[in-house]
Structure 1
Amino acid sequence: MRAEDIEKLVNDRRRDLRTGGNFEDALRKEMDQANSTPFTAEIEQAAPPKRFSKPSFTHFKGDSDPESHLKYFKSVMILHKTDDALMCKVFVMTLRGAAQDWFHTLPSGSISSFKELAYVFTKEYTSYRMIKKNPDHLFNLRKKSDESLRDYIKRFKAEKANIVGCDDRIASSAFKKGLPAEHDLYRELTITPSQLWQRSSRPRNAMRSGMMIESPQRSLLSRKISRLNGQAKEAMRRSHPQEDTPAGENYTKFSIPIHQILAQVKDKPWVKRPPPLKGDPDKRDTRKYCAFHGTNGHTTNNCFAWKTHLEELVREGHCTEFIAKQAIQ
C-alpha cells in the first residue's frame, strides 16, 4: 500500500475508535486484506525458472480488447506456456492502472491456474471486446466522392488487415465493388481476359470481312488494350500486396538500429500493430525474436513489416529525429 493510503486508513480507524469501534482489530483486518493475494499458496510460492528474463510487454490499462491482450501475452510467453504459476505472475505484471486495481479486488486465494485468471480477466473486460469482422464486411466499403484512389486503397487495406484469413478473390471483388461504376479503374478491372481478346481480335476480323481499318488504328487499339491490362494488374497488385514480398534495399538510413526505434515509439498512438504471422508457430526459429510482431521467427531489424511501417511513419512526419544526418543531406 502507498504511504498516503496507510495514513488514510489509520485516520479512518481512529475516527471509528472514537465512535466506539475497536481500532486495533479493524486496522489488523485491513492490513491482512492489503497483504492478501488472489493467487493460491501453490502459485504464490512457486519459484521462477532459472535464467528467466521477463520480456518487455505492452501494458493493459483496462480500456482495450482483453482477448487481443491475451493472445499477445501468450505469443510472447510461448516458450513458458507450460509453467502455469509463471504465466499467472507475469501476466499480472502486464496490468496497469485500473486493470491492476481490479486484480487486487479478486477474492484471496481464488485463482489457482492461468486458465482461471484468463477467464475472469476476459469476463471483466468483455465490454471492450472487438467484434470480429468476416470477409463480407469488405463489401460495405465504398470509395467516397471526395476521397482519392490512394486513400481508398489505404483504407481498404487497413480493413482487410483486420480480417483473419481473408481470401484474395473475395477482397478483389469487394475492392472493385467499392469503386464508382464511372471510375476509370472500375472499367479497367471489369475487363476480363476474354473481353480483351475479343477487343484485340476485332480489327483483324474486320479486315477479313472487307472493312478496311488502317494499320495505325489497329496499332493504337492494341497499345491501349495492353496499357489497360497492365494498369489493372498493377492496381490489383498494389491493393493486395503479398506478405512475403521480399524487402527492398531502398530504405531510409537511420542513426540507430530500427529495433531501438521501435522500443522508443511502440506506445505511440500512431504506431499500428501488424497482423499475426502466418504459418505454424512451432516451426519458427525460437532463437530469433521480433518485438514488432511479439513472437519468434525473425529479428526486429529484419522485420519487413516494421521496415515498411517505419517508412510510412517517416512519410507522415513521425520518427524524423532518428534519420541519419547523411541521409538528410
Structure 2
Amino acid sequence: MQELIPPNFKLSQFESYDGTSDPVDHLEAFRTMMLLHGAPDTILCRAFPSTLKGAARNWYSTLKSGTIFSFDQMSHQFVAHFVSSRCPRKGSEFLMNIRQREGESIRAYINRFNVAVLEVWNLDQSVAMAALKGGLQKNDLLFSLEKKYPRDFADLLARAEGYVRAEEAFKMKDEETARERQAGDSSKPAVGKRSREAQPRSRSPPGHKRAHTLPRVRRQRSLNHGVRRGSPPGRFCNYAPLNASKTQVPMEVREQLPRPERMRTHLGKRNLNKFCLYHHDHGHDMEECIQL
C-alpha cells in the first residue's frame, strides 16, 4: 500500500473521525484526497480504517473478513451506521426568517446571513437574493436594490460592500466629531478664563468719565453690525444636473466630502423611517439631503 501512495502524503495528517460528526463530510474529504493522489479502489479500502478512531474504529473491527469487495460498499455501510450523526440540512425558507436587527450594521447582517446560507442545501441564488433584500431595514442599500435589481447574488454582495464601507466611514467620522466636541467642551472653561485674564483693562485715570457716543451714531453702528452678522449667505438658484442619483454620487466622492453639520431638527419631529448615510442619522434620506 505504501508503494502506491506518494511519499509526501501522510494519512496521519488527515483528521480522524470518531463517529460524532457528519460521516458524509469525512468520507467525501477522504475520497477526494486519495483520488487526488491517484490511489486505486483497493488502497482506499485499506487506508480508510487508519482515519478512524473511537466508536468509528470499533465499528470497523466488527466487519467480518471477506464481506467488503469495494470502497463504495464500505462507504454505504459506514454512512448507514453513523447516519444519526449527520447534521440536518435546512431549507430555503430558513433564510426568510433572518432579519436585520435594530441598530445592527449592514456588515454584521450580511455576515450573519452568509453563515446561514452555508446551512442550506441546494440553495437557489434568486431565493438568496430575495431573502437578503427582504430582511433589510429601510436604508440606502434597500433603496438601491429596489431601484436596480442585482444580476446575481455575487453582484448583490459586491454592491452591498460599497454601502458597508460608506456606513463604516461615516461612523468613524461621527466618532471623530464626538471626540473633538468632547475635547472642545472640556477646554472651554480654561480658554474663557485665559481670555478674561488677557483682556486689557481700562487705562483711564481714576475719576475720569469715558466719552459717550451719540445715540444716532450708536444706532447706525448697531444697524451696520446687524447687517454684517445676520445676513444669510447667498444661495444659487440653478444647479448643474447630476448624471447619477444623490445616493450613488457620494459613494464615488466620499473621500472629498466635508464633514456634515449636526442635524438641528428635534428627534421627535423626524421621520424615523428614513436614514441619511451622509449624516448617519434618521430624518431624511440622501435624496432629500439639503447639504448634499
**TM-score tier after normalising by the smaller chain length:** 0.3 to 0.5
* TM-score normalised by L of structure 1: 0.42
* TM-score normalised by L of structure 2: 0.47
Structure with greater Cα Rg: 2
